[in-house]
Structures are given as structure tokens and as C-alpha cells.
Copies of this chain bind each other. A is one copy, B any other.
């Protein structure tokens, strides 16, 4: 289940970061870029299934996902698991553990992944030296909260079918802006068990709900290839409300 995590030396310099080019990220000034490059202490290569953080512990590092998928989750004492959100390239991991003292959730990789490491004790330098970056950090925390809010609405008030439709569309749109989708297709490295634990339903019911979407010719999903066949219908089934994803406003 939990496999070891290997730390690797530094490889991708921040000015060559492949994510920077995407227009969902604002442009950094040379000074910001220099600071971030210095802030970054290395890279972490984790294989699929690795536990990056464990509920109740703390860590000396914050990470950003450079390449790969992970998920945040919480468990109850008897093993019931709730997946809170998925971590895609560009997302923070472990911020909560650096701001508070202790992580209240766990994080596990879904694929072989590479993460950028930032030492926790230098986070304070970011706040004192680069308010624009500090604002970015808050922005990221607010966006994460926004996603969980919507997810909570789903689990609390949407039916299983609506929830499933919403989550698939939501994930697909996140992948699209990252350039991880090709047309209406994308690689989703999830099992149905992950989907079930995300949507707060049983594995069997997740399967049957997904089948309904497939039978209705709204989506396709074979091996790890996911395809949206009828996007409008999917959005309608999801009671989806489009929300603008503006890049953060300052400088």
C-alpha cells in the first residue's frame, strides 16, 4: 500500500518550469523567480501509491506538484475514507501542515510524481520579502477552499448521478486548463474505488452510477482513458454552474 518515497537532487530550474508557460499562472518578475528558485530546495520523486503526508504528523517541507497526480484524504478510525480533493500539477501540497502545526489529512500519489520541495522554515522569508508571493499563497488556499466548498455541496445535496457527473466534468476541466486533455479525451489515473471515496458512496454504487452515464452515451471510460461524449448533457446532469477561473489579480 504505502511505498517509500525517494528524494532526488534538484533538476528543473524554476525559470525553465514547464508549468510557468500556462496562462492560468501569472507571470513572475525576475526577482520573484530568483527568490522561488532559491526557495526550492530540491525535487521529490514519488512512485504511484506513495504516502506523502500522514494525518496527524507534520513535515519540514511544502511541495508543489510538478508532474503527476495525488489526492488528499481523511480517514475515520474504522477505516472509512473520504477523498477531499485531487492534486494536479501546479497545486500546493502540505501547506496546511506548514501554517498550522500538524496536518489534519493525508496525501497519497496516484501516479509516479515529481514534486518541488520548499523548506517550511523559509516560508516566513517569503512573507517578509515577497508580499506578492504571500498573496499568491493565500490565493491558492482560497481556491482550494472554493473547490472543497463545491465538493461539499455535491456530497451533501447532489444525487449520486449528479455528483458523478459533476466530478467527472470538474476533473476534466481542471485537466484541460493544464493542457492534459486532448480534445474530449484525457487520462484519468483513478480507480472506481477512488471515485467512490471521493463522492461518498460505495464502490458498487459508484460502478452502477458510472455505468448509467456510459449507457446514456454521455461519457466513455476504458482503461484509464476518459472521454466526454456529450458535454452539454453532462453539464446539465451535473447541475453545473460555470465559474470564471481568472488568474490572480495583483501584479
Contact = CB atoms under 8 A, between A and B. Distances in A.
Interface of A: 72, 74, 76-78, 80-82, 84, 95-96, 99-102, 104-105, 124, 127-128, 131-132, 134-135, 137-139, 141-146, 148-153, 155-158, 199-200, 239, 241, 243-244, 246, 248-250
Given A74-B149, A145-B145, A156 B82 contact: yes
A104 B243 contact: yes
Contact of A138 (B78, B105, B141, B246): B141
Q: Is the interface of A mostly helix, strand, loop or mixed?
A: helix
A28 B74 CA distance: 34
Given A77-B239, A84-B153, A104-B149, 9 more contacts: A74-B152, A76-B158, A77-B241, A82-B157, A102-B243, A124-B135, A127-B135, A141-B141, A145-B145
A101 B148 contact: no
13 contacts: A74-B153, A78-B239, A84-B149, A84-B152, A99-B139, A101-B249, A127-B134, A127-B135, A134-B134, A134-B138, A141-B145, A151-B152, A152-B155
Given A76-B157, A146-B96, A200-B156, A244 B102 contact: yes
B157 A200 contact: yes
A157 B105 contact: no
Contacts of A81: 157
B149 A149 contact: no
Contacts of A74: 149-150, 152-153
A69 to B, nearest CB: 19
Nearest to A148: B148
A9 B153 CA distance: 36
Contacts of A104: 146, 149-150, 243
A16 B80 CA distance: 46
A195 to B, nearest CB: 12
A228 to B, nearest CB: 21
